[in-house]
C-alpha cells in the first residue's frame, strides 16, 4: 500500500467514469442450471453440486453501464474522430444523443472465496466477496451549456451526482424447498458488510440565471468521503476570513474497516408445471461509515451581480468584494467528521422460466431487474434461452432491453463435476473502434473457475 | 422440432456472440481530435458600475506638473502649475572717476614804486595791484559714463574735491616783522563747485577773498573743499562722456606789504600754484533712462505632462490662464519706477517657436505683485491677451517647453542724489497657473493602446460582435468621443465595420444613451487580437470653461455588454 499513491486511490473512488473492474453476476445465467452463482441474484436458487470456487477467480464480474456511450461524445468527421464540442458537429445532433439525466455506472465484484454445499435440509453458500461500485449522473444541461453556448438563459444544473463505494462482504446463504407448499422454494442471504470507503458528491442545487439585467447564481453542494484517516486540508480566505476546503490530506489514510453494514437478500421461486416463477430482493441493507469527512456549502448560497457594483479606480477593492461574495458558492466548509449510513443499491428481480415441452434440456426465461435506488434508477427486461444438451455443457443466450438500451448476451458453462469454467457477457453487442476500444458504455465480463463436487 | 437444430443454433449464436465485437473503424479513440468550440451566443453581461470620479480615471497625484487647487467655492480643480524664482539681475550704473586736471604754475611780477629801503624802519606800502596774468584752462573728463545717465544736473563725490591755490612771494619778504597779504583777490576757480566757502560764485567760479595773508614761509594758501559739481544744464552726457571745462587763475587783486629792515628794488615775483584733486562721483541728480538686461526665467518644462495631454493632435486653449509675479525693484526706494513686460515663448516639438507678450507693467515701490490675465487680491492686474494660446499651435500638440522672460525692462525719470554702482538686484518669484478648463476650439486627443496581452487563450477567441449600451450621466464640462479598435500582436488595427466602435458623451448630460458596437466585417471574426486601441477626443465648443476637477463624475447606469463569438481550441 505504501507504494501505491493513496491519493490516487481516494480520488479514483471519487472520480468519474472509470472503466470497469468487476460487475454483478451474469443476468444471462439466471436461468442456467449449471451457474453456481445464481443465489447471489436470487437466494432461493440452489445448485445441483457442491462446489468450491477458485480463490479470487471463482466469481469475477466486471460491469459498466450507462445510458450514454462514447459514440454520444465522439463522432467521426472528415476521417478523424472528434469530440461533440467540435464545430463540425451541430448542436442538434450532439444534444440529441444526450438524455435528461445521463448516467454512467460501473461495478465490480470479486469472489475471494466461495463455497456451496448441501446441508441443513437445503443448499448453502458461503462467500467472501469484495464489491465496488461507482455511479455518476450528469444532467443534460451541462452538455447544453457546453455545446449550445452561453446565452442569457437559465441553466439548472442540479442533479449532478457521483458516488463510489467499496466494501467487503461475508455472505451466508441458505435455501430450501418449502415442504408445506410444493413447488415453493425460499432462500435468504445474510451479508455482513465491512466497508472500506466511499465518496459522494452532490450538487443539490446549481443554478445560473443569466438575465440581461442581472446574473444570479445559486449553489448547494456537498462532498463526503468515508475513508478512515482521511482529512480535508483547509485554508483561510485572506479577505473574508472564511476557512474553506483546499484539498485532501491522505497521509494518515488507512485502508481498513471503517464501519459496519448488513444486507439481506430475500428470494423465492415457485415451480408450477413447466413454469418456474421467481422473485428476489437483493442488497437490502445499509452500511454505516464511522468516519466520514463532510464538506459542504452549508446550505444554499446565492449571489447576484446587481448587488455588487464595480468601482473604477478603487485599487480593485470593489472587484475583491465581488469575488468574495462569489466565494460561498464554491468554497466548501469542513464540517468535520460525521458518521453516515448509505443504503445498498438494492435490486428487485422477477423472473419466469419455461421449460420447453418438446425438449426438456431447453428452457426459456424472462427476467426483469429493477434497481431500487432513487438516485440511479434503472430497469431491464431480459429474455434468455438456455440449453444444457449434456451435463457439463450449458449455454445461455439472452436479449435485453431497458434503461441502458438494447443488447444481447451469452454465458457458457463448461464442466460439471471436478472443474467448471464460466465465461459470459450480458452486453455482448460490442461496438469497438479500430483499436478494439469499446464504443458502448454497456460492457461486462463474467468469469468463474469452480470445482464442483 | 429438431433438437439438434436448436442445439446447433444456440451454439452458433454463442460462438458468434463470443466473437461479437463489431469494429467500426470510423472511430479511433486513441487519436481524438479535441478541437472544441465554446460559443457565447449574444450573451449580455450586466455590469454594475458605481459612480466614476474623474480622479479614479486620471491619476495625477504623481505628476509634478498638475496640482489640485481649490477655488473660492471650495471646489477642487486640476491645474498645470509651474513656478520658480526670478533670477537676480543687477541694477548697476557703474562708476565715474575724474582725474586731477593738469594745471601749470603761473608767475607774475609786481613792480614796486621806486626803491624800497627800510633798514630798521617799518614801511607800510600801499596795496599794489597785481598785474594781469593769463588764466589757464582745466577740464573734468567723465568717461565710460553709463548710457543710462542722460543728463547730470549735479554730481556729488565720494570724498571732497580739494582745490588749493598757493601764492608764493620771495622768501626774504616773509617772516620776521614783515607782514604781507593779498587783498581783494579774485581768483578764477572751476565753476559749479558745491562748497560752503564764502565769496564763491558757483555759476562763474569766481572766488572773492578780501584778504589772504602770507605765512612765514612766504606762502599765501587757499584751500577749498567742494562736495560736488553743480552742472546746471551743462551736464548732458554724450556717447558715455561728459566733459566740464573752464579756467583757473588770478583775475584781480592787490598785494599789501608792511615791511621792516628790508631793501627792495624793482619789484617782486609772485608765483601761483593751483591743484585740484581727482574725485569719484558717488551720486548724481539728473535724468536716467536705464534699460535692464532681460531676466531669463527657467523654462517651463512640459515634458512630463499626463499622457492624455501629450498627443501631437492636442490643441489646448487655456480658458483661464494666470501668471503671478512678485518682483523686487532694487531702486524702488529711490522713487524710480520701472516698466517691463513678460514674454512667454512656446517651443513646439515641430521646431516652431511662438512668442506671446503681455501688456507693459510698472514696477512701483520696492516690490511689485503682478497678476497677468487675472484679478487677484493684493496683485496689480496686467492684461495678457495671448496667454490663453500659449499651449496652442494648431496640430503641433503641446509645446515641450515654454520659455519665460521678463524683458523691455526700463527705468526712466529724474532722480536726485541717485547713487552710482550696483544698487541691488531685481529678483522675485513667478507662478504659471493654467486650470484645465478648455477654451472654445480646444481639442484634446488621447490615444493609447492597451496591448501585449499575449495570452495564448486570446489567440483562440473569435468575436463576431461586441455591443455596449449604457446611460451616461456626467457633469464633465466637455464632450467626449471615444472609439475603440482591436489590435493584433503587431499593433495593427483589426478591420471592423466602419462607423462602429465609437460613441459620444455630451457635456453635462443626464441619462444620455451611449452605444458602442465593435463588429467584425461580414463573414469574418475579430481574431488574433492582442489588445485594444482607445482614442478619446475631447472638443470644446460650448463655451463652458469650467476646469476639470477630481470630483467630476461619470455615471454609467444600465451598462450592458453583449458578446457574440466563440472560443475554439484544441483541448
Closest CA to A398 of A21, A20, A32, A37: A32
Q: What is the largest CA-CA distance in chain A?
A: 91
Q: Which domain holds residue A293?
A: 6-452
Interchain contact A425–B (C-beta under 8 A): yes
B438, pLDDT greater than 70: yes
**Residue A380: band (very low, low, confident or very high) from pLDDT cuts 50, 70, 90:** very high
CA-nearest residue to A85 within chain B is B36
pLDDT, one tens digit per residue, over B91-144 is 999 989 999 999 999 988 888 766 666 567 777 888 888 888 888 999 999 888
Lookup: cell for A213: 439585467
A361, pLDDT greater than 80: yes
pLDDT, one tens digit per residue, over A290-321 is 889 999 998 888 899 888 887 776 777 888 88
- Tell if the CB–CB gap between A313 and B22 is shorter than 8 Å: no
Q: Going from the N-terminus, what domains does chain B have, and what CATH number goes with each?
A: 43-57+442-570 (2.60.120), 78-92+289-435 (2.60.120), 100-277 (no CATH)
From the CA of B519, how many Å to the nearest CA of chain A? 18
Specify whether the CB–CB gap between A243 and A269 falls below 8 A. Answer: no
pLDDT over 90 percentage in chain B: 24
Please tell me the distance from the alpha carbon of residue B252 to that of residue B183, in angstroms, as a whole number. 9
Closest CA to A170 of A115, A117, A132, A127: A127
Query: Which of A308, A395, A432 lies closest to B14 in CB terms?
Result: A395
Strand partners of residue B230: B154
Instruction: Say which CATH number the domain at A340 has.
Output: 2.40.160
Does A1 fall in a domain? no
pLDDT of residue A433: 86
Is the pTM of the predicted complex or chain greater than 0.90? no
Instruction: Kindly indicate whether the ipTM for this predicted assembly is greater than 0.85, answering yes or no.
Output: no
A contact residues 50-109, partner B, Cβ 8 Å cutoff: 70-71, 74, 76-77, 80-83, 85-87
- Tell if the CB–CB gap between A425 and B17 is shorter than 8 Å: yes
- Tell if the CB–CB gap between B50 and A362 is shorter than 8 Å: no
- What would the mean pLDDT of B218-224 be, rounded to a whole number? 93
Query: Which of A213, A358, A437 lies closest to B46 in CB terms?
Result: A213
B310, pLDDT greater than 80: no
B413, pLDDT greater than 80: yes
Query: Which of B33, B45, B57 lies closest to A313 in CB terms?
Result: B57
User: Based on C-alpha coordinates, what's the Rg of chain A?
Assistant: 25
pLDDT of residue A151: 87
pLDDT of residue B118: 59
pLDDT of residue A313: 67
On chain A, the residues whose CB falls within 8 A of the CB of B43 are 149-152, 210
pLDDT, one tens digit per residue, over B14-51 is 555 554 557 888 899 888 999 999 988 888 888 777 77
pLDDT of residue B289: 93
- CB half-sphere exposure, B224, CA atoms < 13 A: 29
pLDDT, one tens digit per residue, over A19-56 is 222 347 899 999 998 899 999 999 999 999 999 999 99
CA-nearest residue to A75 within chain B is B27
Interchain contact A343–B (C-beta under 8 A): no
Does A372 fall in a domain? yes
Query: Which of A77, A150, A215 lies closest to B46 in CB terms?
Result: A215
Please tell me the distance from the alpha carbon of residue A205 to that of residue A217, in angstroms, as a whole number. 10
Specify whether the CB–CB gap between B77 and B253 falls below 8 A. Answer: no
pLDDT of residue B119: 66
Interchain contact A359–B (C-beta under 8 A): yes
- Tell if the CB–CB gap between A305 and B46 is shorter than 8 Å: yes
Tally of domains within chain A = 1
Does A114 fall in a domain? yes
Does A113 fall in a domain? yes
Mutation test of the interface with chain A: which of B9, B10, B463, choosing the one with the most A Cβ atoms within 10 A?
B10
From the CA of A279, how many Å to the nearest CA of chain B? 27
Interchain contact A449–B (C-beta under 8 A): no
pLDDT of residue B12: 57
From the CA of B58, how many Å to the nearest CA of chain A? 9
> Three-state DSSP class for B271?
strand
Residue B547 burial class via C-beta count within 10 angstroms: exposed 0-12, middle 13-18, buried 19 and up: buried
Average pLDDT, chain B: 84
Specify whether the CB–CB gap between A172 and A189 falls below 8 A. Answer: yes
pLDDT of residue A203: 85
Residue B255 burial class via C-beta count within 10 angstroms: exposed 0-12, middle 13-18, buried 19 and up: buried
Amino acid at each position: 500500500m505504501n507504494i501505491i499513491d493513496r491519493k490516487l486511490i481516494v480520488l479514483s473512488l471519487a472520480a468519474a467514469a472509470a472503466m470497469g473492474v468487476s460487475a454483478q453476476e451474469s443476468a444471462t445465467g439466471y436461468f442456467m442450471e449449471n451457474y453456481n452463482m445464481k443465489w447471489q441474484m436470487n437466494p432461493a436458487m440452489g445448485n445441483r453440486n457442491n462446489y468450491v470456487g477458485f480463490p479470487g477467480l471463482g466469481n469475477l464480474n466486471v460491469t459498466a453501464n450507462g445510458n450514454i456511450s462514447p459514440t454520444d461524445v465522439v463522432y467521426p468527421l472528415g476521417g478523424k474522430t472528434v469530440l461533440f464540442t467540435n464545430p463540425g458537429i451541430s448542436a442538434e445532433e450532439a444534444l440529441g444523443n444526450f438524455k435528461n439525466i445521463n448516467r454512467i455506472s460501473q461495478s465490480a465484484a470479486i469472489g475471494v472465496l466461495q463455497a456451496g454445499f448441501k446441508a441443513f435440509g437445503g443448499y448453502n453458500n458461503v462467500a467472501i466477496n469484495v464489491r465496488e461500485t461507482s455511479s455518476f449522473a450528469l444532467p443534460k444541461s451541462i452538455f447544453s451549456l457546453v455545446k449550445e453556448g452561453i446565452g442569457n438563459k437559465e441553466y439548472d444544473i442540479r442533479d449532478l451526482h457521483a458516488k463510489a463505494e467499496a466494501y467487503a462482504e461475508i455472505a451466508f446463504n441458505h435455501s430450501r424447498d418449502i415442504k408445506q407448499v410444493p413447488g415453493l422454494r425460499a432462500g435468504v442471504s445474510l451479508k455482513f458488510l465491512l466497508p472500506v470507503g466511499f465518496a459522494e458528491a452532490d450538487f443539490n442545487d446549481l443554478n445560473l440565471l443569466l438575465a440581461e439585467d442581472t446574473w444570479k447564481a445559486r449553489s448547494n453542494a456537498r462532498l463526503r468521503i468515508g475513508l478512515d484517516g482521511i482529512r480535508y486540508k483547509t485554508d483561510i480566505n485572506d479577505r473574508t476570513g472564511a476557512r474553506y476546503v483546499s484539498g485532501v490530506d491522505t497521509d494518515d489514510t488507512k485502508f481498513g474497516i471503517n464501519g459496519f453494514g448488513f444486507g439481506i437478500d430475500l428470494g423465492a421461486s415457485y415451480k408450477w408445471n413447466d413454469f418456474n416463477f421467481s422473485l428476489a430482493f437483493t442488497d437490502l441493507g445499509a452500511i454505516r461509515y464511522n468516519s466520514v469527512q463532510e464538506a459542504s456549502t452549508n446550505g444554499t448560497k446565492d449571489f447576484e451581480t446587481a448587488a455588487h457594483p464595480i468601482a473604477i479606480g478603487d485599487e480593485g477593492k470593489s472587484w475583491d468584494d465581488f469575488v468574495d461574495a462569489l466565494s460561498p458558492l464554491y468554497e466548501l466548509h469542513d464540517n468535520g467528521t460525521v458518521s453516515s449510513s448509505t443504503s445498498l443499491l438494492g435490486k428487485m428481480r422477477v423472473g419466469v422460466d419455461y421449460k420447453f415441452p418438446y425438449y426438456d434440456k431447453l428452457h426459456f426465461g424472462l427476467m426483469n431487474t429493477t434497481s431500487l435506488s432513487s438516485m440511479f434508477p434503472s430497469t431491464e427486461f431480459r429474455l434468455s434461452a438456455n440449453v444444457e444438451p449434456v451435463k457439463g455443457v450449458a449455454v445461455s443466450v439472452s436479449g435485453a432491453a431497458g434503461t441502458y438500451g438494447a443488447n444481447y448476451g451469452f454465458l457458457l458453462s463448461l464442466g460439471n463435476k471436478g472443474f467448471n469454467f464460466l465465461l459470459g457477457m450480458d452486453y455482448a453487442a460490442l461496438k469497438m473502434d479500430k483499436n478494439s476500444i469499446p464504443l458502448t458504455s454497456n460492457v461486462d465480463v463474467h468469469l468463474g473457475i469452480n470445482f464442483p463436487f | 422440432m429438431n433438437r439438434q437444430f436448436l442445439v446447433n443454433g444456440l451454439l452458433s449464436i454463442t460462438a458468434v456472440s463470443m466473437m461479437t465485437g463489431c469494429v467500426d473503424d470510423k472511430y479511433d479513440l486513441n487519436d481524438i481530435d479535441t478541437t472544441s468550440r465554446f460559443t457565447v451566443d449574444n450573451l449580455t453581461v450586466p455590469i454594475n458600475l458605481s459612480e466614476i470620479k474623474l480622479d479614479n480615471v486620471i491619476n495625477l497625484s504623481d505628476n509634478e506638473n498638475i496640482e489640485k487647487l481649490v477655488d473660492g467655492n471650495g471646489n477642487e480643480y486640476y491645474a498645470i502649475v509651474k513656478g520658480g524664482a526670478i533670477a537676480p539681475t543687477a541694477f548697476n550704473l557703474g562708476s565715474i572717476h575724474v582725474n586731477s586736471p593738469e594745471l601749470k604754475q603761473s608767475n607774475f611780477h609786481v613792480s614796486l614804486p621806486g626803491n624800497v629801503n627800510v633798514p630798521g624802519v617799518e614801511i607800510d606800502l600801499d596795496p599794489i595791484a597785481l598785474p594781469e596774468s593769463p588764466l589757464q584752462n582745466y577740464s573734468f573728463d567723465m568717461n565710460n559714463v553709463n548710457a543710462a545717465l542722460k543728463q547730470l544736473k549735479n554730481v556729488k563725490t565720494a570724498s571732497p574735491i580739494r582745490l588749493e591755490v598757493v601764492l608764493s612771494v620771495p622768501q626774504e619778504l616773509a617772516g620776521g616783522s614783515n607782514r604781507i597779504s593779498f587783498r581783494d583777490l579774485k581768483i578764477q576757480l572751476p565753476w559749479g563747485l558745491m562748497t560752503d566757502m564764502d565769496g564763491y560764485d558757483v555759476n562763474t567760479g569766481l572766488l572773492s577773498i578780501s584778504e589772504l595773508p602770507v605765512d612765514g614761509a612766504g606762502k599765501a594758501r587757499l584751500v577749498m573743499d567742494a562736495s560736488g559739481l553743480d552742472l546746471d544744464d551743462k551736464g548732458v552726457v554724450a556717447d558715455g562722456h561728459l566733459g566740464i571745462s573752464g579756467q583757473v587763475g588770478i583775475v584781480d587783486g592787490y598785494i599789501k606789504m608792511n615791511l621792516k629792515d628790508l631793501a627792495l628794488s624793482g619789484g617782486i615775483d609772485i608765483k601761483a600754484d593751483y591743484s585740484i584733486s581727482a574725485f569719484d562721483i558717488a551720486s548724481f541728480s539728473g535724468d536716467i533712462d536705464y534699460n535692464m538686461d532681460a531676466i531669463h526665467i527657467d523654462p517651463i518644462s512640459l515634458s512630463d505632462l499626463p499622457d492624455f495631454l501629450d498627443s501631437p493632435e492636442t490643441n489646448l486653449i487655456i480658458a483661464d490662464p494666470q501668471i503671478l509675479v512678485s518682483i523686487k525693484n532694487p531702486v524702488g526706494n529711490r522713487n524710480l519706477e520701472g516698466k517691463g513686460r513678460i514674454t512667454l515663448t512656446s517651443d513646439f516639438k515641430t521646431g516652431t517657436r511662438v512668442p506671446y507678450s503681455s501688456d507693459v507693467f510698472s514696477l512701483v515701490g520696492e516690490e511689485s505683485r503682478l497678476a497677468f490675465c487675472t484679478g487677484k487680491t493684493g496683485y496689480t492686474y496686467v492684461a495678457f491677451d495671448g496667454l490663453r494660446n500659449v499651449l496652442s499651435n494648431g496640430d503641433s500638440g503641446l509645446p515641450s517647453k515654454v520659455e519665460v522672460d521678463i524683458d523691455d525692462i526700463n527705468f526712466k525719470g529724474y532722480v536726485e542724489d541717485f547713487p552710482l554702482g550696483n544698487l541691488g538686484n531685481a529678483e522675485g518669484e513667478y507662478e504659471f497657473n493654467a486650470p484645465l478648463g478648455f477654451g472654445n476650439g480646444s481639442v484634446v486627443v488621447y490615444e493609447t493602446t492597451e496591448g501585449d496581452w499575449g495570452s495564448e487563450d486570446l489567440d483562440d477567441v473569435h468575436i463576431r460582435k461586441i455591443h455596449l449600451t449604457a446611460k451616461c450621466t456626467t457633469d464633465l464640462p466637455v464632450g467626449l468621443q471615444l472609439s475603440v479598435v482591436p489590435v493584433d500582436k503587431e499593433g495593427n488595427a483589426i478591420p471592423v465595420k466602419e462607423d462602429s466602435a465609437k460613441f459620444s458623451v455630451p457635456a453635462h448630460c443626464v441619462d444620455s444613451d451611449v452605444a458602442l458596437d465593435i463588429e467584425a466585417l461580414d463573414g469574418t471574426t475579430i481574431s488574433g487580437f492582442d489588445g485594444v486601441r482607445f482614442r478619446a477626443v475631447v472638443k470644446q465648443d460650448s463655451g463652458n470653461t469650467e476646469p476639470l476637477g477630481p470630483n467630476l463624475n461619470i455615471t454609467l447606469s444600465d451598462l450592458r455588454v453583449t458578446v457574440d463569438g466563440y472560443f475554439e481550441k484544441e483541448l
